[in-house]
């Protein structure tokens, strides 16, 4: 005997249903109560989150409890009182086994509907009316609240399911508190999502990639499971490779976008951590975006927080992946405009806002797989970071002893005594969640640095490979940890990175920074992405734990070039699978002032013999390389040695020519010019050309060389 196809479909739906234990329990308790605990149950959540599926599951529970249930979809109801009553009456008549009037009198329809409701409620202890897609009945909301629901029998439960949360009149009337219950529907948990994927026979090695994209969103899980089932290859699911999945999700989230400007606003909202009217105006290049902002705020998958709007996680993924795939140039332009907005804000906002702005800047890089895995966005904005008080030091030392051992705790105590102002406390309320200490190596004596092997190794690297020049600074981010998670990915760890970036931006004459971390292999990806070089020779084992050092020379790649480099990497990286960036073909050097002067003297000797200064360390100096960057060379240094040699000669000649502007220094310039720029056959001949005694010529030349050296050195160190 054959079985109806609908029966098979129902069985499959029941087998694939997972989770929602709280919602199922709430509904079951209402069905089995002597009197209904509420008469209106408003289920709300974004498109595809599983509202209809849950209502079907509730319908199954009605059957198990012998409660009559009627399901109506608002897409089939005219949004007027008459249209609603007609649809409801027709459904009730069919459920009661009666024929509705073929040509009903409009005036009689409400009475007939009320009578049918009374008969429906009298058949058992509880009757349930399910109204799906309730957002389409928005014109009826007030009528239902004021007229229809108050006339319902008290044994009828009306279940409304829609995208939007209940309007204020349902929530604010104290009398309705007894009869009304709102249930927001969220994504499935990680365990529930895995249970669903297991039922769909998705390979377990795909789970982490799928959960990272779907965030437990039921429709997304279903679409991805279908996609994986239809593929022959075994590689991980990649959203960018499945535009049809993204298109379906976007259609479910956004039923209709009024205009291209609205779409652009939606894309801007997806890209930034928190959207305000200010950043939306900058990203769209529009002076007044209030209408667009209000429209975004009205969408069911957009939430309004204390500091701005933000989309549901999956909606963000779908929006950003779609625009990146559909129009990468526009994606890059939005990224650029947001970055410029944050740069301006960082320079103008008070220091108390810097943490939030820096988190916003880092968030722009979240599509990079490395960055995504090493930042916790959810709670970072709720933690305060501030200069630690001495009363907190003992707790920090104890925390260090717990995670790193006695030696590391001793080193922290050593630095807290020497530089007590250089430690941040991270806290929520009065609870200490973690800390970060940093050292000013340039202010410490060698006798103070040497007891700490990690600080000593870092200092020795700087002395050997990047010696400091007069007034330059070197910082080491030495100890950092969270009280519960140590150096694992956490909100505290995210703020540690943000604090380090803040010092990159604000420390005057910053030359070199070193970031220290336990288990350096774990952090190599994100720190390399941030252009920090692993200093393997400085790594230390302490109490059985490996510690690594990562350095960056800010004289080689300064802050503006660093931001540009990160932007280029964000644009170049596949949003899912990050790759290592190639190193520049030319390694920059940062000479000490004495070494700089020696190298310049060698350049002048070669110029006097009309030879290019090949092999000279100044060819790899910031002085020279910046000239190519300023001419559009970007952050990489690919100019040939001959090109750099020509640039160096021009710099020397142009700098010397500035002496000619002062009448008192013309004689200096002429001595320099006829010796190095357009050299005479000999120094004696040069003396004759400028018509001064040889001794005076030598004195003028030495003074000119000293002046040119000072001027070029000032350019090298950015004065």
Q: How far apart are CA 239 and CA 577, in angstroms?
A: 11
* Contacts for 42 with CB less than 8 Å, ≥ 6 apart: 134, 160, 161, 162, 165, 166, 170, 180, 181, 182, 183
Position 244 scores a pLDDT of 67
Location of structure tokens 């229809």: 148
Position 300 scores a pLDDT of 67
Position 4 scores a pLDDT of 53
In eight-state DSSP terms, residue 509 is T
pLDDT tens for residues 366-388? 776 666 666 665 554 567 888 99
Position 120 scores a pLDDT of 83
Q: Of 623, 702, 716, 704, nearest to 660 (Cα)? A: 704
Distances from the Cα of 488 to the Cαs of 403, 491, 518, in angstroms? 12, 10, 10
Q: Of 627, 711, 714, 619, nearest to 669 (Cα)? A: 711
Topology classification of domain 384-572: Aminopeptidase (3.40.630)
In eight-state DSSP terms, residue 474 is E
Position 376 scores a pLDDT of 62
Location of structure tokens 């050593």: 414
Position 718 scores a pLDDT of 64
- pTM for this predicted structure: 0.54
Position 476 scores a pLDDT of 98
Q: How far apart are CA 344 and CA 349, in angstroms?
A: 8
Residue 516 forms beta bridges with which residues?
Answer: 549
For residues 415, 419, 421 and 427, what is the CA-based torsion angle, rounded to 10 degrees? -10
Parts of the chain with a pLDDT under 70: 1-16, 100-104, 226-255, 300, 368-382, 571-588, 610-612, 629-638, 718-719
The architecture in CATH of the region 5-184 reads: 3-Layer(aba) Sandwich (3.40)
In eight-state DSSP terms, residue 714 is H
């Amino acid at each position: 005997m054959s079985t109806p196809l609908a029966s098979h479909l129902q069985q499959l739906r029941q087998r694939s249903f997972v989770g929602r234990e709280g919602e199922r329990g709430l509904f079951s308790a209402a069905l089995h109560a002597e009197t209904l605990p509420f008469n209106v149950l408003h289920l709300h959540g974004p498109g595809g989150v599983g509202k209809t599926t849950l209502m079907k599951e509730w319908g199954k529970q009605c059957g198990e409890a012998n409660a009559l249930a009627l399901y109506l979809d608002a897409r089939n109801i005219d949004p007027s009182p008459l249209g609603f009553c007609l649809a409801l009456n027709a459904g009730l008549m069919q459920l009661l086994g009666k024929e509705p009037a073929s040509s009903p009198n409009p005036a009689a329809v409400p009475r007939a509907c009320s009578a049918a409701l009374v008969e429906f409620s009298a058949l058992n202890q509880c009757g349930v009316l399910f109204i799906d897609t309730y957002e389409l009945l928005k014109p009826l909301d007030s009528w239902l609240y004021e007229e229809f629901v108050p006339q319902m029998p008290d044994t009828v439960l009306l279940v409304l399911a829609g995208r939007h949360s209940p309007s204020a009149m349902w929530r604010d009337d104290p009398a309705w508190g007894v009869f009304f219950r709102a249930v927001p529907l969220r994504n499935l948990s990680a365990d529930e999502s895995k249970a669903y994927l297991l039922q769909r026979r998705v390979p377990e090695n795909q789970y982490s990639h799928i959960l990272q994209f779907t965030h437990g969103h039921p429709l997304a899980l279903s679409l991805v499971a279908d996609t994986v089932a239809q593929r022959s290859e075994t590689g991980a699911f990649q959203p960018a490779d499945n535009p049809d999945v993204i298109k379906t999700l976007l259609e479910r989230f956004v039923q209709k976008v009024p205009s291209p400007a609205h779409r652009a606003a939606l894309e801007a909202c997806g890209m930034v951590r928190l959207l305000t009217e200010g950043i939306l105006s900058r990203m769209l290049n529009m002076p007044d975006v209030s209408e667009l902002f209000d429209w975004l705020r009205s969408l069911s998958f957009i939430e309004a927080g204390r500091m701005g709007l933000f989309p549901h996680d999956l909606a963000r993924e779908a929006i950003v992946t779609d625009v990146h795939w559909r129009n990468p140039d526009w994606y890059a332009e939005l990224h650029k405009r947001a970055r410029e907005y944050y740069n301006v804000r960082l320079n103008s906002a008070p220091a108390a806002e810097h943490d939030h702005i820096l988190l916003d800047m880092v968030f722009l890089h979240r599509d990079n797989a490395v960055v995504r895995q090493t930042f916790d966005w959810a709670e970072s904005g709720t933690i305060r970071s501030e200069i630690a008080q001495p009363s907190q030091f003992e707790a920090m030392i104890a925390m260090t002893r717990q995670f790193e051992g006695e030696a590391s705790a001793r080193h922290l105590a050593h630095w807290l005594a020497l530089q007590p102002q250089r430690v941040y406390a991270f806290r929520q309320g009065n609870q200490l969640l973690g800390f970060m200490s940093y050292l000013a190596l340039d202010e410490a004596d060698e006798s103070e640095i040497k007891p700490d092997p990690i600080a000593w190794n870092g200092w020795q690297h700087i002395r050997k490979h990047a010696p400091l020049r007069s007034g330059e600074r070197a910082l080491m981010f030495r100890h950092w940890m969270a009280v519960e998670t140590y150096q694992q990915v956490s909100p505290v760890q995210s703020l540690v990175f943000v604090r380090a970036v803040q010092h990159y931006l604000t420390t005057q004459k910053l030359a070199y920074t070193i970031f220290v971390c336990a288990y350096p292999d774990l952090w190599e990806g994100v720190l390399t992405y941030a252009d920090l070089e692993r200093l393997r020779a400085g790594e230390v084992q302490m109490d059985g734990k490996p510690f690594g050092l990562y350095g960056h020379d800010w004289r080689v790649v300064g802050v503006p070039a660093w931001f540009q480099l990160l932007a280029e990497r964000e644009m170049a990286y596949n949003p899912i699978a990050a790759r290592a960036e190639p190193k520049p073909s030319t390694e920059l050097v940062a000479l000490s002032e004495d070494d700089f002067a020696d190298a310049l003297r060698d350049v002048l000797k070669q110029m006097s013999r009309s030879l290019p200064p090949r092999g000279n360390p100044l060819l790899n100096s910031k002085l020279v390389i910046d000239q190519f960057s300023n001419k559009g060379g970007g952050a990489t240094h690919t100019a040939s040695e001959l090109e750099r040699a020509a640039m160096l000669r021009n710099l020397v000649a142009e700098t010397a020519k500035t002496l000619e502007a002062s009448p008192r220094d013309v004689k200096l310039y002429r001595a320099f010019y006829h010796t190095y720029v357009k050299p005479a056959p000999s120094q004696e001949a040069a003396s004759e050309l400028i018509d001064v005694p040889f001794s005076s010529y030598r004195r003028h030349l030495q003074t000119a060389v000293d002046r040119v050296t000072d001027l070029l050195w000032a350019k090298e160190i950015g004065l």
